[in-house]
A = this chain, B = another copy of it.
């Protein structure tokens, strides 16, 4: 319980808050800070506004909606990555490397991946990154059709991995020991009736082996190798 603010008191309090004027930039910055510190779910319009010392309605003068804000967050996240020139000799490694860079960015701001999935990124920074990806793929001598589809497929994979990692992390909570979960899951699999689930039982160990990075690298490897194979078959 708290007394309502007396009107004459509120009068004198107001000017202090918004000394530096609001702007889209400042809103995006604050949102990203909050995401990095407390995760995406903690980032509500009220929370952003509070961090800026104002109320939620003030944000809507600079941002149309939360969806639009999400889009701006995505574009800001990929801003400033500088990617090397395409090198035809190393296209496979370069494709993998761009994947690693973007996953790292998405991991730094957990939850943004959810907004990234499914939205074709048309912001300037994102387009520059896509342009580079196209460059790497073309340098590899892949046919146009393969390049075009791959430019869709690779970001989809990266976003999905980031999203999955985020969901899994917030579902298990921060208190769980990953090693415990692993043995727990392996025992769960191994305990299945082996007449109905022979493969689960036989592979129980392999299924829980490897950490997130291993699995991500495996996926990158499969994708790049697959692109090479499909391209070779197509020409």
Residues on A lying within 8 angstroms of B by beta carbon are 117-120, 122, 127-128, 130-131, 134-135, 138, 144-153, 156-157, 159-161, 163-168, 171, 185, 188, 192, 196-200, 203, 206-207, 209-210, 214-215, 218-219, 221-230, 233
Q: Tell whether, in the assembled complex, residue B218 and residue A153 are in contact, meaning their CB atoms are under 8 Å apart.
A: yes
A171-B67 Cα distance, complex, nearest whole Å: 10
Q: Tell whether, in the assembled complex, residue A117 and residue B164 are in contact, meaning their CB atoms are under 8 Å apart.
A: yes
Q: Which of A149, A161, A222 has the most CB of B within 10 A?
A: A222
Q: With A156-B164, A161-B156, A203-B134 as known contacts, state yes or no: A197 contacts B118, CB within 8 Å.
A: no
What's the number of copies of this chain in the assembled complex? 2
Q: Tell whether, in the assembled complex, residue A223 and residue B223 are in contact, meaning their CB atoms are under 8 Å apart.
A: yes
Q: Majority SS of interface residues in chain A?
A: helix
Which chain B residues lie closer than 8 Å to A185 at the CB level?
A: 120
Which chain B residues lie closer than 8 Å to A165 at the CB level?
A: 118
A228-B161 Cα distance, complex, nearest whole Å: 22
Q: With A153-B222, A157-B160 as known contacts, state yes or no: A203 contacts B148, CB within 8 Å.
A: yes
Q: Tell whether, in the assembled complex, residue A148 and residue B207 are in contact, meaning their CB atoms are under 8 Å apart.
A: yes
Q: Tell whether, in the assembled complex, residue A149 and residue B218 are in contact, meaning their CB atoms are under 8 Å apart.
A: yes
